[in-house]
Structure 1
Amino acid sequence: MAVRLWISAAPNWGYGAPQRMLNRMVRLNLHSVARLATTTTTTTTITPRAREEAGAAAAIPFEPMLYHLRPVPEEFQQALACNVANAFAAAARTEPGATAQDTQMRICGRVTSVRAMGKHLYFSDLEDHSGRIQVMCSKRHLDEVSQQRLLHRHDHIEVFGSPGKTKTGEPTLKAQLVRVIAPCQAQLPDHIEDKEKQVRERHIYLNTVDNDLRQTLKMRNQVLSTIREFFALRDFVEVETPILSAQSGGAIARPFITRANALQADLHLRIAPELYLKRLVIGGLHRVFEIGKVFRNEVNKVYADPGNAGPVLRRACQELHLERMELFINGAELCNAYQELNDPAEQRRRFEAQHRERQQGNDELPLPDEDFCQALEAGLPPTVGWGLGVDRVIMVLSGKPHIRDVLAFPILAPKQATSQDGC
């Protein structure tokens, strides 16, 4: 299963447009996207005393219903709700040892470390989507529920307090009230060596170990946003084409087949949206694109980095003078662009040739699609189109060797089965 970007455009776009578009997209936001790949974080540790206290507290049974979000106490209702980055910035503006007593803030996040200073004072690092900040609190600042077990790593907590700095100059939120809003009730590891376990327990892997994966997923989001922005500025219309249909087409691949009980018929998951996008161009929607998943029932490939080869473009004139362009980076094909066939008679001839080969045992070839041939008879203007492997783009930008490294939840074989490539 892969995410691909498919585009079709009518005559005024020009035959050289796919290559020009790709060049512009690469220039458009490559630096801002790649910047996310270089984000680094610091690692914190737990003191022996904190480990001892956490171990003792772990024996106390949880009452999960006590940890739902509760009303804000009256004395903190004027506190400014903000993210960790805002709190850090406010704390950074204070002097060492000082506290902005006239400023009350409320932040929520995940505890990444806990450090005890004496019997009653605790320092913890709190993290949310925007960053990380140190929180200082004493045991009396914990609400009565939280006092039963103190704080654990990976707890989600709510903190009310004032920004300031410690005497050593560390920006800190000095807590006046700390409440656990979602306790961590599992013993989470510091590291997961097994690659398959990293994927199966992705919620743990993301939460505790792999900030790099989180940054990769953020990069993925920015790449998709950039693609959409690029086409919106050029008057393209984003569309959705059927994921399930009576037959698959538009590419050469073995489809997944499922049963529609309501229709009492088999349906195919799409292997490409190409034929539907061409129908839209025929219907007068001359600039369309789709970002979506395609499903191909084939052996999953590992796109390993073969070396530091630069981009390679290949152009070939096929029969009927079709133009084609492919983009390869580091040995991985990222883009396949072509001028579309718009002759219904030639399309039928090719479908028939594929059908004869299919009858001889090549079940990856699609069945003839007469509905599409009839659509071509209405007239497909000279059109160019290309498909971009978004997953592979993320692999190149992030330097990841395997496609599973850029997906939040890649497909795995069932636990009782084994897989040669682990994905």
Structure 2
Amino acid sequence: MSDNTWRPTASIAALQQRADLLSRVRGFFAERQVLEVEVPVLSRRATSDPHIDSITALCNGDAAFLATSPEFGLKRLLAAGMGDCYYLGKAFREGEAGGRHNPEFTMLEWYRCGWDDRRLMGEVGDLLGETLGISTVESVSYRELFRRQLDLDPHTASDSALRNTAERHLDLSFTPADRDECLDLLMSHYLEPRMGGGITLLYNFPASQAALARVVADETGRPVARRFEAYVGGLELANGYWELTDAEEQLRRFQADHRYRGAHKLHVYPFEERLVEALQAGLPDCAGVALGIDRLLMLAGGYRRIEEVIAFPIERA
């Protein structure tokens, strides 16, 4: 054999940079007295998110699933009284491959009790600034970004106005299915590439994109999702929430996800009812955020593709 597929795709220098980055991240949280914890990466429950698929495994003869994020386990710990904590380790998502994706990847996720999304945005900016050496941080609302770049209010624009805007600015070979798909396409293909080289913290997303975040009224009285995303140079690095603590609303969202998946002929996984039970027991008021370590390393080291920072991506695993 002479194809050398036994070799890592990342250079030794890149792997040394990875070790240094992980050490710096752990030091960041040690200084702030945030505890590192472990949660299962193999579970009988899976994601309900319609836009993410779990990787299925076989465990003791029954189906199990590799965790798409540590979120459910961390929230169960929070409800048990753990306090501020973080997870730094592997997560897995089916069908994620490409220049910025690998089915197995490294995720950092942390929670701050008594904080909201605005306060956590500041800490995300601090972490990114320290690890990337960037001092420029801009916080901008989802509405303001769309108004600035597209002269469009994403919360009040009609479905037809959003569709027309997407068709006018993007080279589409299909018609977007709904307003959220229009917004996602405009964000990923038009707005993100126009972000500057500094840190951009985008907040107050449409209520329809709340996921596991609270929905509250903004300064105009419009319901918005209290979640945020962090970008550097148009590359999305982190997604954070002012966390939902209402057990009934959490169950409703899980059930809505299942209906969506069924209606769109997507696989319907068993959802994490133990998270609902944890919320019933009492999840503390908190904010949480997940950050992609592989992408962070790509930016820190000037790498263009994810396989340059992973020893053995799926093609060589």
Would you say same fold, with TM above 0.5? yes
Match of 1:314 in 2: 202
Using the TM superposition, give the Cα deviation of residue 338 of structure 1 relative to its aligned residue in structure 2, in angstroms: 1.2
Q: Percent identity?
A: 33
Is 2:7 aligned against 1:202? yes
RMSD: 2.8
What whole-Å deviation, never above 9, does each CA across 1:73-132 have from its counterpart, x for those lacking one? Answer: xxxxxxxxxxxxxxxxxxxxxxxxxxxxxxxxxxxxxxxxxxxxxxxxxxxxxxxxxxxx
Preserved contact between residue 250 and residue 275 of structure 1 (Cα < 8 Å): no
Is 2:91 aligned against 1:294? yes
Using the TM superposition, give the Cα deviation of residue 296 of structure 1 relative to its aligned residue in structure 2, in angstroms: 0.5
Using the TM superposition, give the Cα deviation of residue 408 of structure 1 relative to its aligned residue in structure 2, in angstroms: 1.2
Match of 2:13 in 1: 215
1:367 and 1:375 map into 2 onto residues whose CA distance is: 17
2:194 and 2:256 map into 1 onto residues whose CA distance is: 39
Is 2:48 aligned against 1:270? no
Using the TM superposition, give the Cα deviation of residue 361 of structure 1 relative to its aligned residue in structure 2, in angstroms: 3.3
2:206 and 2:285 map into 1 onto residues whose CA distance is: 16
5+ residue gaps, structure 1, are 1-185, 189-196, 207-212, 415-423
Q: Which has the higher contact order (CA 8 A, sep 6+)?
A: 2
Is 2:61 aligned against 1:256? no
Q: Equivalent of 2:78, from 277, 281, 297? A: 281
More helix by share: 2
TM-score (norm: length of structure 2): 0.60
Report the secondary structure of 2:88's partner residue: strand
Is 2:34 aligned against 1:236? yes
Question: Residues 362 and 383 of structure 1: is their aligned pair in 2 closer, same or farther, counting only changes over 3 Å?
Answer: farther
1:344 and 1:253 map into 2 onto residues whose CA distance is: 22
Question: Residues 365 and 274 of structure 1: is their aligned pair in 2 closer, same or farther, counting only changes over 3 Å?
Answer: farther
Q: Tell me the matched-pair count.
A: 210
What whole-Å deviation, never above 9, does each CA across 1:37-85 have from its counterpart, x for those lacking one? Answer: xxxxxxxxxxxxxxxxxxxxxxxxxxxxxxxxxxxxxxxxxxxxxxxxx
Match of 1:368 in 2: 271
Using the TM superposition, give the Cα deviation of residue 365 of structure 1 relative to its aligned residue in structure 2, in angstroms: 6.5
2:234 and 2:48 map into 1 onto residues whose CA distance is: 24
5+ residue gaps, structure 2, are 102-191, 208-214, 217-224
Higher Rg of the two aligned structures = 1
2:307 and 2:32 map into 1 onto residues whose CA distance is: 32
Using the TM superposition, give the Cα deviation of residue 366 of structure 1 relative to its aligned residue in structure 2, in angstroms: 5.0
1:327 and 1:308 map into 2 onto residues whose CA distance is: 11
Question: What are the residue-to-residue correspondences of 1:55-70 with 2, within 5 Å?
Answer: none
Preserved contact between residue 303 and residue 332 of structure 1 (Cα < 8 Å): no
Is 2:234 aligned against 1:331? yes
